[in-house]
Structure 1
Amino acid sequence: MNETPARALTAEAIGTFALCFVGILAINVDAISGAEGTASLVTIALAHGLTIAVMIAALGAISGAHFNPAVTAGFVATGRMTPVRGAQYVGAQIAGAALASLLIAWLFGLEVVERGTPAMAPLVKPVGGMVVEVVTTFFLVLVIFGTAVDHRAPRSVFPLAIGLTVALDIMATGPITGAAMNPARVFGPALVSGAWADHWAYWAGPLLGGVLAAFLQHRFLMEYAPSLATAEHGGPAPLEERG
């Protein structure tokens, strides 16, 4: 990435802002509009997934379009990003999520932000919910590395593939854990609304799932890139250049 840190961090904040803004409003559209039956699990899933897809298409060339500390953790763990830059990315992602939550609270009230904060279903234990978040985030980061990072993948497919992964994860587990797959998506609205229940699980699960998927792709599934320059954007560096 040749972009300046300020541009990359701004892109990360904008993308995460969009995810939280659209996601929280999609969850609350019935209550805000007064039109019952407008929101459904499918519309909520597509709202999150399509937002991710279009923001990746718009901002991926600037920052890599992580918009998620779990994705950034995967890049740091596999040596694609320094820990310092990773921490900057996470800070920008949290800032974007918090700003979106603050704006929605100002426009529509804190209760809207609280309802839009991912939470465990009443019968779901926190550890079980954490495991669900591990699995769903594993799928997400596996697809990210397989489509956006692997140099063999067609360049045109990854925004839609990643967005659809977000959507299918939400359709499968949204009623169970809220299908966060993203600590910033939980932290921003929790910071504004005070909805901190089981918050640790929304960091532990996605971070673990993201790092596991990144390592699996990096160490086993991905081919070595044909050059070091390719490795910086795609696959691992070739063996002879790894030192």
Structure 2
Amino acid sequence: MRPVNDIFGCNRGSPPNFRADIKAALGELVGMAIFLFLALSGVQGGLEAPNSDPSGQGPNPTQILIIAFSFGVGIAVALFICGAVSGGILNPAVLLSLMITGNINWLRGILFFIAEMAGGILGAYFSNFVTANQLQGVNLLSPGFNYAQGFFAECLLTMTLCLTVLFIIVDKHLLADFAPFVVGSSVFICHIIGAPIDGTSINPARSFAASVVTGKWTNQWIFWFGPLTGGIFAVLIYLGVKVLTEESQEKALLQQAQNQAILENTKTAPTNPNSIAPNPNYNNISNNADNFHNINNV
């Protein structure tokens, strides 16, 4: 894997490189198109599986598993393909969290957002074409769930995904070299949880692209405000943990320095009473004391 600072735009404080930004944005566009083509096509196959739900209004466990697997593996494959070019962010909510934390400059962030939206629409159209204009997978609230439940589900699930990226990849965790698998696993479990609620968005570009192709826009705001709010919450948690961690590290370093100083003093201090050097003024002090005693006796 490339260094994290290279993957996520540019080193902090370095001037933007417009040519490199355009190249990375094109990689993001291609990656997003591949991701949604694979994921939405997988959803199509999953929803065509027999439905064991007596009401016929919700996916059964097998369908949920197929949908989650399609998105989890789809994002992993896309990351392997475009990760060397753009880093494979492939999500406006994750992009927002990286921009706020300063891991991506704002120029590149804007270009990435445009690329993700365009790539998502392109991938959705490809999926719609190969499925004979029968694209499914539009995010809609399932019967029995209200707006608040849908919003908070999207918010919390997206927050989980963004925290995965921030703590594992940005902080160069040992698992950062396996970023496609880590992100894919996070996306997989998020879809297992969210699919029965609203089909799971956690990605505004994914929801927008499917709605553009199908013309279905019901409750679209949930799939924008929910994930973007989750991305902001993830940043707050991430920065809060970083502050607490830095304070703990400073205290640990201070304590270590104090212990080292005590250890050095202990090593240099004499431990044998016989090794203590005699005071050169001891005899003078003794003579003065004797003289003082004799004067008092006069």
TM over 0.5: yes
Quick check: 168-177 or 48-57, which moved more?
Answer: 48-57
| RCO higher in structure (CA 8 A, sep ≥6) | 1
* Identity %, equivalent residues: 26
Q: Distance in 1 between matches of 2:240 and 2:234?
A: 10
Structure 1 residue 31, shift from structure 2 partner: 7.0
Q: Distance in 1 between matches of 2:88 and 2:125?
A: 22
Please state if 1:13 is matched with 2:66.
no
Structure with higher Rg: it is 2
Which residue does 2:269 correspond to in 1?
A: none
Deviations 1:100-125 (A, max 9, x none): 12223333344x32x22121102211
In structure 2, relative to structure 1, the CA distance for the partners of 1:53 and 1:106 (3 Å cut) is closer
Which residue does 1:102 correspond to in 2?
A: 125
Structure 1 residue 30, shift from structure 2 partner: 5.8
Contact 1:28 1:116 in 2 (8 A): yes
Which residue does 1:29 correspond to in 2?
A: 45
What letter is aligned with 1:96? G
Structure 1 residue 161, shift from structure 2 partner: 1.3
- 1:1-243 equivalent positions in 2, closer than 5 A: 1=6, 4-29=20-45, 36=50, 40-110=63-133, 112-113=134-135, 115-221=136-242
SS for the counterpart of 1:84 is: helix
Q: Distance in 2 between matches of 1:132 and 1:45?
A: 16
Q: Distance in 2 between matches of 1:21 and 1:64?
A: 19
Structure 1 residue 11, shift from structure 2 partner: 1.7
Query: Which runs of 5 or more residues in structure 2 are unaligned?
Result: 1-5, 11-18, 52-61, 247-298
Q: Distance in 1 between matches of 2:148 and 2:82?
A: 35
Report the TM-score when normalising by structure 2.
Answer: 0.68
In structure 2, relative to structure 1, the CA distance for the partners of 1:103 and 1:58 (3 Å cut) is closer
Q: How many correspondences in the alignment?
A: 220
Q: Please report the RMSD computed on the Cα atoms of aligned residues, expressed in angstroms.
A: 2.3
Query: Which runs of 5 or more residues in structure 1 are unaligned?
Result: 225-243
Q: Distance in 2 between matches of 1:31 and 1:212?
A: 32
In structure 2, relative to structure 1, the CA distance for the partners of 1:94 and 1:25 (3 Å cut) is same
In structure 2, relative to structure 1, the CA distance for the partners of 1:30 and 1:154 (3 Å cut) is closer
